[in-house]
Amino acid sequence: MNLLLVEDDPELGRQVAGWMLDAGHKLQWEKTGASALATLQTQTYDVVILDVGLPDTDGFSLVERLRRDGVRVPVLFLTALADVSDRVRGLAAGGDDYLTKPFAIAELLARLEALHRRASNHVPTHRRLGKCRLDLMRRRVSCANESVELQPREWCLLEVLMNHEGRILPKKFLLEQVWDIHFDPGTNVVDAMICRLRRKLEMPGCGVLIETIRGKGYVFKTLA
């Protein structure tokens, strides 16, 4: 497994990291919530082992933030907070499992493997696009605190654009792919929907661009 450990206690961190490496797993160790978030924006992991008491935030808020951003990676809380109310809070925040210190290494390993197994059976529900996230179930695009829902045809257009990122797509091609129209309908249906999609994706810092190449078609670009 490819693991992310978020733990500020140097001794415990070294111990857990050593055990995981010995068990044949890969492990990245972050010591603050901010660095963990930054890592999770660019890297994917099979499971995150998350401490609750971190210097800059708490693990519960961190998971809430991740889930809001659509990051579905399984999270196991590893914490000294053993009260039922803490466990409930951790799971309610979006955590998948909860193990309290002190713990047996064999149990930690077994729980991580169980989480990984469960997650591998899941179909992806989200995808990253530029600096936004796509909710594949709800056809929703979210960026920072804004989110828009796309109509089925707009979604289909976005998918075709995404799958051909960086290439000039003639209107004729888009008509065929999105509308299943194989002749010139003599309307501006493509331009109109591109405009609408652009407006919907015009969220600040969204990092997505649909350029018009005069006389040729459209190019989809992500800036992130």
Residues in the site for Ca ion, rule: CB under 5 A? Answer: 8, 51, 53
Nearest Cα neighbor of 54 from 102, 3, 6, 5 is 6
Shortest approach of Ca ion to residue 78 CB, angstroms?
9
Give the H or E element holding residue 79.
strand 75-79
Shortest approach of Ca ion to residue 8 CB, angstroms?
5
Q: How many CA atoms lie within 13 A of 57 on its CB side?
A: 16
Shortest approach of Ca ion to residue 75 CB, angstroms?
15
Q: Which is nearer to Ca ion, 57 or 222 (CB)?
A: 57
Q: Which is nearer to Ca ion, 8 or 135 (CB)?
A: 8
Shortest approach of Ca ion to residue 151 CB, angstroms?
46
When CB distances to Ca ion are compared, the closest residue is 53
Ordered alpha helix ranges (H), 53-146 = 59-68, 84-92, 105-120
Q: How many angstroms separate the CA atoms of 49 and 115, rounded? A: 11
Q: Which is nearer to Ca ion, 9 or 159 (CB)?
A: 9
Q: Which is nearer to Ca ion, 10 or 53 (CB)?
A: 53
Kindly report whether the peptide bond that precedes residue 185 is cis, defined as omega within 30 degrees of 0: no
